[in-house]
Chains A and B, each alone.
Chain A
Amino acid sequence: NFMLTQPHSVSESPGKTVTISCTRSSGSIASNYVQWYQQRPGSSPTTVIYEDNQRPSGVPDRFSGSIDSSSNSASLTISGLKTEDEADYYCQSYDSSNQVFGGGTKLTVL
């Protein structure tokens, strides 16, 4: 099985851009789609990016996703930061039978 590693926390000011990384420990990041979930305190996770770079309806285009095979990692980029973006963000991927979540990144917008 593989692991997904995220930074524990990131912080940035309103209006700025932040990028959260998710590095796969073994196997190619490109071989299985990566999803990103946002979780606000006391709430269930919701999808902000699926299948590497797709946004569900209702998610603003300030949210974007990408993968980088050279670093074997996925990234979530949030531009034009708003205070409402402050939350925990989790990446998730899978192999043939298992689901794997990253450890989560706490985004602080200050």
Chain B
Amino acid sequence: QLQLQESGPGLVKPSETLSLTCTVSGGSISSSSYYWGWIRQPPGKGLEWIGSIYYSGSTYYNPSLKSRVTISVDTSKNQFSLKLSSVTAADTAVYYCARLRFPIRFDYWGQGTLVTVSS
């Protein structure tokens, strides 16, 4: 059974860079037809797609976040990562990683990790 697990700091200071990693187990991140994505959910609010990456490194980003987002992949570790720069309190959210059956749907999700932006 495929599993995804987010990891990273739960607290980030304003103006700094948020960094998270998603570790994939039970399957290969290099599988064809699948992208790997990040989605976030501010407390009490809805889901927002951040971006997606293929194992080759091809990426798509949400236009509203594109200037601050970098998603990368490490196939040797079966991981992909998110960096979000210049964070503010508005970036406080639960961050999920998920597998994307490109381009259609997310079928496996991690449990999510809460990242709070505060000094």
Contacts and interface: CB of A to CB of B under 8 A. Distances in A.
A101 B48 contact: yes
Q: How large is the interface on A (under 10, 10 to 19, 20 to 34, 35 or more residues)?
A: 20 to 34
Contacts of A99: 37, 39, 49, 52, 100, 103, 106
B14 to A, nearest CB: 26
B73 to A, nearest CB: 17
The number of chain B residues touching the other chain, given as a range, is 20 to 34
A47 B37 contact: no
B63 interface: yes
Interface of B: 37, 39, 46-49, 52, 60, 62-63, 96, 100, 103-107, 109-112
Given A1-B63, A99-B103, 8 more contacts: A46-B109, A47-B105, A50-B104, A50-B105, A51-B104, A90-B47, A97-B60, A100-B49
Contacts of B52: 99
A78 to B, nearest CB: 19
Interface in A63-107: 90, 92, 94, 96-104
Given A94-B104, A96-B103, A101 B63 contact: no
Contacts of A33: 104-105
A106 B31 CA distance: 35
Nearest to A102: B46
29 contacts: A33-B104, A35-B104, A35-B105, A37-B47, A44-B110, A44-B111, A45-B96, A45-B109, A47-B105, A47-B106, A50-B104, A50-B107, A51-B105, A90-B47, A92-B47, A92-B105, A92-B106, A94-B103, A94-B104, A97-B60, A97-B103, A98-B49, A99-B103, A99-B106, A100-B49, A101-B39, A101-B47, A102-B46, A104-B46
